[in-house]
Structure 1
Amino acid sequence: MTTYAALLRGINVGGKKKLPMAELRGLMDGLGHDGVRTHLQSGQAVFTSGHGDEESLAAELADAIEKHFGFSVDVIVRDHAYLEAVAAACPFPAAELEAKQLHVTYFSAPVDAARFAEIDREAYLPEEFRLGERELYLYTPDGLGRSKLAEHLAKPRINKGVIATTRNWNTVVKLVELTAE
């Protein structure tokens, strides 16, 4: 059995795509997953499963959500080892920053630096980002809601062909803890 986190994109935001966590847990139990727990209302679920891989589990959950709730939701599933490695590889001094200043964007597939080549990084300073293989670390000193860099990184041409979902540092750390149990 492997422990995973499911990251759901764009639910329970601004009154749209309402997805009660109790119903999500029940839905995931019905898919045969064990130990299903949710974290916050913004779309994180932790579970164990003995079948499938990250991609097939994400597709299965996205399909079940659409059938049950009547709307589509992008889903990324990652295992504990990956989540732990992402937290450990943070290129910014996480312990010195407030959680609202540091974020990780998880991608559904590897992304290369060429996708971000047109961004004038100096124009956004002191905001910064660093690219991993399937993740992007984002430092926003004034928070994500005020970040011009985050706004630019969210543009469809930047994320074309991949699912991207962002979590603040508190959630990044919590998902490592929850998937370790």
Structure 2
Amino acid sequence: MTTHLALLRGINVSGHNMIKMEVLKTTLEAIGFKNVQTYIQSGNVFVDTEEENPAAVGFKIKQEIFKTLGHEVPVVVIAKADIEACFKNNPFLKEKDIDIKKLYFAFISTELRSDSINDLKMSQVKPDEASIDANRIYIKYAVGAGKTRFDQKYIEKKLNVTATIRNWNTVTQLLKLYEER
């Protein structure tokens, strides 16, 4: 069995794509996922399956949510190593007196080229900063996530990918849950 973490984008936000986590859990168990565990209402769900391919797991989840619940929900599936890299490889953690409340992580549906940072045109979203690492973008917001143009829609448009963003606290808790499994 392989454990996957599926990050659903855009559910339970401002009354859109409302999905109760208990319903999501039951829906995924009904199609064969084991040890289904959700974390908070924003669409973080662990599943165990014989399927090793993260893209196949994401497609199956996305398809079932649409079929059963009627919502078109992008899904990015990541591994424990992706979460661990958020803390090991994040260049902003090397800064003195960093405010971790301004650190976010964008998880991307595919591995990015090292020069993809150029495609983001960061000069358009200054003073926010970003760094790319495989299928993750480390983000440091100057003011905060609610006051920036550098959101998942911006990332998706510039890079032609599916992206979903999580804050420091959420990613910290997801790593803890991964380790407890």
* TM bucket normalised to smaller: 0.7 to 0.9
Name the residue aligned to 1:132.
133
Aligned CA-pair RMSD: 2.3
The count of residues paired between Structure 1 and Structure 2 equals 179
Partners of 1:158 and 1:9 in 2: CA distance: 17
Structure 1 unaligned residues grouped into runs of 5+? none
Partners of 1:71 and 1:152 in 2: CA distance: 19
Counterparts of 1:18-167 in structure 2 under 5 Å? 18-93=18-93, 96-117=97-118, 121=122, 124-148=125-149, 150-151=150-151, 154=154, 156-160=156-160, 162-167=161-166
Higher relative contact order (CA 8 A, sep 6+): 1
Q: What is the TM-score normalised by the length of structure 1?
A: 0.87
Contact 2:102–2:140 under 8 Å retained in 1: yes
Q: Using the TM superposition, name which of 18-27 and 42-51 deviates more.
A: 42-51
Q: Using the TM superposition, name which of 79-88 and 40-49 deviates more.
A: 79-88
Specify whether residues 42 and 122 from structure 1 end up closer, same or farther in structure 2 by C-alpha distance, changes over 3 A only. same
Contact 2:6–2:75 under 8 Å retained in 1: yes
Structure 2 counterpart of 1:70, which letter? G
Contact 2:117–2:131 under 8 Å retained in 1: no
User: Between the two proteins, what is the percent identity of the paired residues?
Assistant: 28
Moved over 3 A (4+): 94-100, 113-116, 118-126
Specify whether residues 79 and 114 from structure 1 end up closer, same or farther in structure 2 by C-alpha distance, changes over 3 A only. closer
Partners of 2:46 and 2:104 in 1: CA distance: 19
